Amino acid sequence: MAGEPPEEVRGIAAAAVGTADLDRAVADADLIVLSAGEGKVAEVARHLVPGLAARRGRPLDVWVVGNADCARRVRGALAGTAEARGTALPPLGVAGAVARVAVSRGSWHEPGVPEFVGDAARRLDVDALPLRLAPPALPGVHTTREFGARLREKLFVFNTGHAFTAYLGWLRGHRTIDTAIRDPFVRPVVTGALLAARRAVLAAYPCLCPGAPWTRRTR
């Protein structure tokens, strides 16, 4: 968040696609999380098959994070690749997940190293229905039995606010979201759009109303 020191992540090993290191990591994993975009996620998933086969039947959950129902594509890619190779897969729970993480400013087009400042929003909703294992206790992670509703909430409320702000802000000469939303012309329009979108989503999915018993935290 703005005003706080940057958070550094250390002690994380990297493995290239198609290497024995990746196969070993998949074979030993407690959980796999994919986030590669709707157009690439199936291609990425195919590279997991050798490591999954090496698990020798040990079950595993795969969370597929995206702004679409990408889990279905991953299931198809894994099954098709395994069948083509004559490989048996372990029991898998391939579950969709939607993340809500807001970035208030940052650019790859400025000189020097880009700096991205995130808002306090830190939430990941994981589809509970396909899971094979109990999800790990991770901050901000929630399981939901209404994944389709949560996905549309993300698209038509959370993402819509950012899109409206970006488009209107560009027309008004702003270069970043955080400056655009302070514009006295932009903010009321975005607010009105979000309220209208929220009413529509709640009308279609009453389970999203506060207090509905469909979502729980993993800890």
Closest CA to 80 of 51, 55, 43: 43
Over its length of 219 residues, how does the chain's per-residue pLDDT go in tens digits?
A: 455 666 676 788 888 888 999 999 999 999 999 988 888 888 999 999 999 999 999 999 999 998 888 999 999 999 999 999 999 999 999 999 998 776 555 566 666 665 666 666 688 999 999 999 999 999 889 999 999 999 999 899 888 888 999 999 999 999 888 889 999 999 999 999 999 999 999 999 998 887 655 455 554
Check residue 9 and give its pLDDT: 66
Task: Tell which of 144, 167, 183 closes a domain.
Answer: 144
Among 154, 155, 189, 159, residue whose Cα is nearest residue 171: 189
Q: Mark whether 55 and 126 lie in a shared domain.
A: yes
Q: Rounded to an integer, what distance in angstroms lies between the CA atom of residue 116 and that of residue 49?
A: 34
CA angle 46, 132, 127 (to 5 degrees): 80
Domain shared by 70 and 167, yes or no:
no
The answer to whether residue 218 is domain-embedded is no
**Residue-range definition of the domain harbouring residue 178:** 148-208
| Cβ atoms 55, 27 nearer than 8 A | yes
What is the structure's pLDDT at 121?
66
Domain edge (last residue) among 96, 125, 144:
144
* In the block, residue with structure tokens 């083509």: 84
pLDDT score, position 188: 95
Is residue 15 assigned to a domain? no
Q: Is residue 28 domain-shared with residue 69, that is, in the same domain?
A: yes
Helices 160-171 and 186-204: crossing angle in degrees, nearest 10, is: 160
pLDDT of residue 24: 95
Whether residue 51 is contained in a domain is answered as yes
The residues near 115 (Cβ < 8 Å, ≥ 6 apart) are 6, 105, 106
49 with 17: CB under 8 angstroms?
A: no
Q: What is the pLDDT of residue 90?
A: 96
Q: What is the pTM of this model?
A: 0.80
pLDDT at 214: 47
Distance CA 26, CA 82 (A): 15
